[in-house]
Amino acid sequence: MSAEAGTAIAAWRRANARRTILVGVTGILLVASFAVDVATGPAMLSIQAVLRSLLGIGGDPMLDAIVRTLRLPIALMAVVVGAALGISGAVMQTILNNPLASSYTLGISAGAGFGAALAITIGAALPVPEAWAIPLAAFAFAAIACALVGSVGRMRGATPELLVLAGIACLFLFQALLSLLQFLASPEALQQIVFWLFGSLLRASMGKVGIVALVLCIAVPPLLADAWRLTALKLGDDRAKALGVRVDRLRLRAFVIVSLLTGAAVAFVGTIGFIGLVAPHIARMLVGEDQRHLLPASAVFGALLLSAASVVSKLIMPGTVFPIGIITALIGVPFFGWLILSTGRVR
Amino acid sequence: MMLEGRHIGVRYGAHVAVEDVSMTAQPGEVLALLGANGSGKSSLLRALAQVQAYSGTITWDGAAAPTGSVGYMPQDNAARVALTAFEVVLLGRMRSLALRVGSRDLQAAQSAMEEIGVADLAPRRIGELSGGQRQMVLMAQVLAAGPRVLLLDEPTSALDIAHQLHVLDLLRTATRQRGLTTIAVLHDLNAAARFADRVALMHRGRLVGIGAPDAILRSTLLQPAFDVHVAVDHGSDGHPVVLPLRAVRP
């Protein structure tokens, strides 16, 4: 082994160490943002008080109630949903070979939106309490949207072009159905539908956080197991096939996993935009395309962005919580513009 | 590995790209696929690499080869990926890559880069490299897998003449020393004449001739295949030298 060859491996190891540190630093920022998120609200708390309460050494029942019952579920929800959307976006962008893809592109979120609206409209007639009926219906229709797009992919070969076309058809279908429901809905239901579509973390509870976290725990290992194969997809289908990757199967498998992940996340908080688009892009610029680093980095950046947006949503109009979907979109739009202007570089 | 293809056909919808091609290739030999644009060379290569549906039969040593031993290099399409050159080469080891990359894979990637002479490009992003550098990195990726068969689609199209000579020399040496079966689509007829043991000439999806360069690189075969008048001479080393004169139809 020559000295020069030694440096190729050593340089790669150094790059990997740097990437791990970057993800670690972002993780620390995330913890900080999480703590600030819990501390922020109508009653501003000190970080020390928050930490004491979280560790169970506060001894102030009033404070404990605010922290653990009211704020902790919301702050945790921001983290798990942000992570889920970040990972889904990264995988969608990879399998569709498209930098503008996210969980929105293939109609998954539109399906969830329609499901939620349906549950809201028929509300009282449902056998389950509304707090669970809406997320269940949202998830069910996200799954239906996924099944529609996936079955087209199964029948005709899961090329990125075909999946995008099927997904956009699915998106329009569910948007039309949603508009129809809005047209038919009572004014009260309509208001509730619109508010759901804004996206909000206020519906969080520890049980719901647990479910999203569980789905995240189920979804991530198979994606990481496919990390190298997903990376190879970026070199083009022919090259990936020649390397032994069954590209159609890989695409469908990854697509189903991230659709369910998105469905679970969106079901509880409504359609929160742009996290799934922005987080993977930032992650990619910092750690590159190696999915072993890109997936964790996208998760951490997604969680950080949504957690920070949650803080902003409480500060923007003191006393009220601004719908977080609006905040993420307002942050996202300038980024989207920059992305369009510089697609050649970031792809 | 001994390749035997019988009545290979490739069609895209109604368009027939390859029709009834039967051919063989031996271990230790370089076979150059020649022909005009759209004559079916790349489609035939894709069929051999099993990345394209085809009719007919293709066998390697009498059996459908495990894809593991086939190194296929399509034309360049990896321009805009945020991967380093080293990572691209490492992907060649796909079959053994795990979350934690083993030292055998790292060593293999490294020696392949050294062999091609691109080890210094290892930490650079593949998108930053020139077309020629990228092509050499992708060649290293194919070699990193330790293939027994090389299927290369215009492997030297972006290289300057010095690098062309280097890569083709290396391919021929590797093919002889390791007993590889190498099939390469080439556009440069003279490079094919020098480096290939045999050449196969395709025209409109059919094989019009396969054999030693001397036997195939003749004006009677080349003129209809390329629609061009050519003069064929012999160089000082005895290889045929093809000189294009003018197009048959303006």
Q: What is the pLDDT of residues A10-60, one digit of tens each?
A: 999 999 999 999 999 999 999 999 999 999 888 888 888 888 888 888 778
Q: Quick one: which H or E segment has residue B27?
A: none
What's the angle, vertex CA A99, arms to CA A97 and CA A102, rounded to 5? 95
Angstroms from A122 CA to nearest CA on chain B? 47
Can you name the residues that pair with B183 across neighbouring β-strands? B31, B151
> Is residue A245 less than 8 Å (CB to CB) from chain B?
yes
Q: Is the pLDDT of residue A75 over 90?
A: yes
- Mean pLDDT of all residues belonging to chain A: 87
**Which of B51, B120, B143 should be substituted to probe chain A, the one whose Cβ sees the most A Cβ atoms within 10 Å?**
B51
**Which residues of chain A have a CB within 8 Å of the CB of B110?**
1, 5-6, 8-9
> Is residue A124 less than 8 Å (CB to CB) from chain B?
no
Q: Are residues B87 and A12, on separate chains, in Cβ contact within 8 Å?
A: yes
Q: Per-residue pLDDT averaged across B97-118, rounded? A: 92
> Is residue B160 less than 8 Å (CB to CB) from chain A?
no
- Facing residue for B81 by CB, picked from A8, A243, A289: A289
Q: Per-residue pLDDT averaged across A306-318, rounded? A: 88
Q: Which residue has the higher pLDDT, B238 or B88?
A: B88
- Mean pLDDT of all residues belonging to chain B: 89
Q: Are residues B94 and A224, on separate chains, in Cβ contact within 8 Å?
A: no
- Lowest mean pLDDT of A89-93, A282-286, B235-239, name the range: B235-239
* pLDDT value for B86: 95
**Which of B46, B52, B75, B81 should be substituted to probe chain A, the one whose Cβ sees the most A Cβ atoms within 10 Å?**
B81
Q: Is the pLDDT of residue A137 over 60?
A: yes
> Is residue A11 less than 8 Å (CB to CB) from chain B?
yes
Which residue range is the domain that position B191 belongs to? 3-247
* pLDDT value for B67: 56
Look at residues B248, B199, B243, B241 and name the one whose alpha carbon lies nearest to residue B226. B248
* pLDDT value for A347: 38
Look up residue B95 and give its DSSP letter: G
CATH, residue B49: 3.40.50.300
d(CA B108, CA B146): 8
**Which of A4, A12, A290 should be substituted to probe chain B, the one whose Cβ sees the most B Cβ atoms within 10 Å?**
A12
> Is residue B72 less than 8 Å (CB to CB) from chain A?
yes
Q: Are residues B72 and A242, on separate chains, in Cβ contact within 8 Å?
A: yes
Q: What percent of chain A has pLDDT over 70?
A: 94
Angstroms from B237 CA to nearest CA on chain A? 35
- Local confidence band at B19 (pLDDT 50, 70, 90 cut-offs): very high
Q: Are residues B82 and A288, on separate chains, in Cβ contact within 8 Å?
A: yes
> Is residue A5 less than 8 Å (CB to CB) from chain B?
yes
d(CA B46, CA A264): 41
* pLDDT value for B95: 87
Q: What is the pLDDT of residues A186-224, one digit of tens each?
A: 898 899 898 888 888 888 899 999 999 999 999 999 999
Q: What is the pLDDT of residues A140-158, one digit of tens each?
A: 999 999 889 888 888 877 7
**Which residues of chain B have a CB within 8 Å of the CB of A238?**
46, 49, 51, 72, 74, 77
> Is residue A4 less than 8 Å (CB to CB) from chain B?
yes
**Which residues of chain A have a CB within 8 Å of the CB of B77?**
235-236, 238-239
Ordered DSSP codes for B148-216: SEEEEESTTTT--HHHHHHHHHHHHHHHHHHT-EEEEE-S-HHHHHHH-SEEEEEETTEEEEEE-HHHH
d(CA B43, CA B204): 12
Superfamily of domain A3-346 in the CATH hierarchy? ABC transporter involved in vitamin B12 uptake, BtuC (1.10.3470.10)
Q: Are residues B114 and A2, on separate chains, in Cβ contact within 8 Å?
A: yes
Helices of type H across chain A: 3-39, 47-54, 61-64, 72-95, 108-122, 130-156, 160-184, 187-198, 206-225, 227-233, 237-242, 247-269, 275-287, 291-315, 324-341, 343-346
Q: Per-residue pLDDT averaged across B197-209, rounded? A: 94
Q: Exposed, middle or buried, B94 (CB in 10 Å: 0-12/13-18/19+)? A: buried
Angstroms from B195 CA to nearest CA on chain A? 25
Number of separate domains in chain B: 1
**Which residues of chain B have a CB within 8 Å of the CB of A6?**
110
Q: How far is CA A140 from CA A143, A145, A166, B119, in A?
A: 5, 9, 19, 51
Q: Are residues B68 and A244, on separate chains, in Cβ contact within 8 Å?
A: yes
Q: Are residues A289 and B82, on separate chains, in Cβ contact within 8 Å?
A: yes
Q: What value of ipTM does the predicted structure carry? A: 0.85
> Is residue B92 less than 8 Å (CB to CB) from chain A?
yes
- Facing residue for B114 by CB, picked from A5, A237, A285: A5
Q: Is the pLDDT of residue B227 over 60?
A: yes
> Is residue B86 less than 8 Å (CB to CB) from chain A?
yes
Q: What is the pLDDT of residues B235-246, one digit of tens each?
A: 888 888 888 888
> Is residue B104 less than 8 Å (CB to CB) from chain A?
no
Q: Which residue has the higher pLDDT, B249 or A140?
A: A140
> Is residue B110 less than 8 Å (CB to CB) from chain A?
yes
> Is residue A68 less than 8 Å (CB to CB) from chain B?
no
Q: How far is CA A14 from CA A7, A17, A18, A286, B119, in A?
A: 10, 5, 6, 14, 16
